[in-house]
Amino acid sequence: MKSPLRVGLIGCGNISNAYFKGLAPYGEWVRIEACSDLDPGRAKAKAAEHGVGKALSVEELLADPEIDAVLNLTVPQAHAETNLRALKAGKHAYCEKPFALNTAEGKKVLAEARKRKLFVGCAPDTVLGGGIQTCRHLIDSGAIGKPIAATANMVGHGHESWHPNPEFYYLPGGGPLFDMGPYYLTALVTMIGPVRSVAAEARATFAERLITSQPLHGKKIKVKTPTHLCGVLEFAQGALGTMTMSFDVWKSHLPLLEVYGTEGSLSCPDPNHFNGEVLLFRKGEKEWTPVPLTHCGETARGFGLAEMALAIAKRRKLNRMNGEMALHVVEVMESFHLSARTGKRVTIKSPCRQPAALPAGLPLGRIE
């Protein structure tokens, strides 16, 4: 396929602006050619705002022979369905996290992609930013010895105080784990490798949530998914991880993400962002040492889609933010819920390769 990859965006909500901005430096490889939304007016407005030539219905976009791939920014409950529709229309698919609401849905997407020899990819591509890639470089270079443990913690009090439409965060497929867990789990898989098993507990502390943001101020939300989950991850290479995801905590001093090794410790930046401070502690030292980023700190959302476009153009087998890794993350998250319900450790079955590290020193706009 010739470059650039011609993309149709489905779902013109909050996150779409980040993709328009983040993809701009990668015009050599990917270009958004059409916008679509369940609200036609919103699609037209987004197309006009960003100079996109077409504002189409979803059906029109999927039928358009000038669209090579779909950027799926729908709500989580529609991710797998929209990916399947795109693939069945003969188009590659790249979606926002999570890849699916459960492993069975995700497997259907991968099977369809393999059947049609099409690519699928999934956010979060924040792990390709300067922060996590610098941490990966330090781990690979032996700065902390062999990783033996990690901790990942995202605790707060939910999105109803700031998000304009927070209801879907409290439905199945939402909650802190499916909303924020992909950032932390994808970062851990990137730095340490795939997960072998999960043991977890979960609860929903508050049966109802009150929206205090606009335009739905005062509306109450029925909570239909766990909002506080904690568990233990066993990685295939032997390390153990602890993970807490919560919308029930008012304030905390928990570290966001740390990796511990035989020779030192690594304090990683927020995996919800592309850059941030990296701190290294080596055996025998007294304090943490800030480490300059070895990779570009200006990378933004859409890098994963651009890298997928390059993989398509060069006929590579996999892109880094590929469907196999996204499915692995979904199975780990689903296993948190399963372990909490059954009281048993759950073995992860989906195969997943640790993605290759990015080369150090790439400037903004370069993928390789």
Nearest Cα residue to 204 out of 182, 176, 179: 176
Structure-block tokens of residue 121: 């990819």
Residue 21: DSSP 8-state? H
Other C-beta atoms closer than 10 Å to the C-beta of 238 total 12
pLDDT score recorded for residue 2: 64
Residue 65: DSSP 8-state? T
Q: How far apart are CA 321 and CA 353, in angstroms?
A: 11
Residue 259: DSSP 8-state? E
The C-alpha torsion from 252 through 255 and 256 to 260, rounded to 10°, is -160
- 361 sits in which H/E element: none
pLDDT score recorded for residue 266: 98
Q: Which CATH number fits domain 5-125+300-321: 3.90.1150.180, 3.30.70.420, 3.40.50.720, 3.10.450.50?
A: 3.40.50.720
CB 95 within 8 A of CB 88: no
Q: How far apart are CA 220 and CA 234, in angstroms?
A: 38
Same fold, 5-125+300-321 and 127-291: no
pLDDT score recorded for residue 14: 85
Q: Which CATH number fits domain 127-291: 3.30.465.10, 3.30.360.10, 2.130.10.10, 2.60.40.790?
A: 3.30.360.10
User: Could you state, in order of their start, the residue ranges of all structural domains in the chain?
Assistant: 5-125+300-321, 127-291
Q: What is the pLDDT along the chain (368 residues), one digit of tens a residue?
A: 567 999 999 999 989 999 999 999 999 999 999 999 999 999 999 999 999 999 999 999 999 999 999 999 998 889 999 999 999 999 999 999 999 999 999 999 999 999 999 999 999 999 999 999 999 999 999 999 999 999 999 999 999 999 988 998 999 888 999 999 999 999 999 999 999 999 999 999 999 999 999 999 999 999 999 999 999 999 999 999 999 999 999 999 999 999 999 999 999 999 999 999 999 999 999 999 999 999 998 999 999 999 999 999 998 888 999 999 999 999 999 999 999 999 999 999 999 999 999 999 999 999 88
Q: How far apart are CA 23 and CA 365, in angstroms?
A: 9
**What crossing angle do the helices spanning 323-342 and 175-191 adopt, rounded to 10°?**
130
Q: How far apart are CA 266 and CA 183, in angstroms?
A: 17
pLDDT score recorded for residue 168: 87
CB 226 within 8 A of CB 340: yes
pLDDT score recorded for residue 368: 84
Q: What is the bridge-based pairing of β-strands 220-222 and 264-267?
A: unpaired
Radius of gyration of the chain (CA): 20
- Give Cα separations from 161 to 272, 283, 326 (angstroms): 19, 43, 29
CB 226 within 8 A of CB 177: yes
Q: What is the bridge-based pairing of β-strands 92-95 and 120-122?
A: parallel
Query: For the stretch 189-220, what's the b/e string if a residue is b when 16 or more beta carbons lie within 10 angstroms of its beta carbon?
Result: bbbbbbbebbbbebebeeeebebeeeebeeee
Q: SS3 for 190?
A: helix
Nearest Cα residue to 97 out of 269, 226, 248, 272: 272
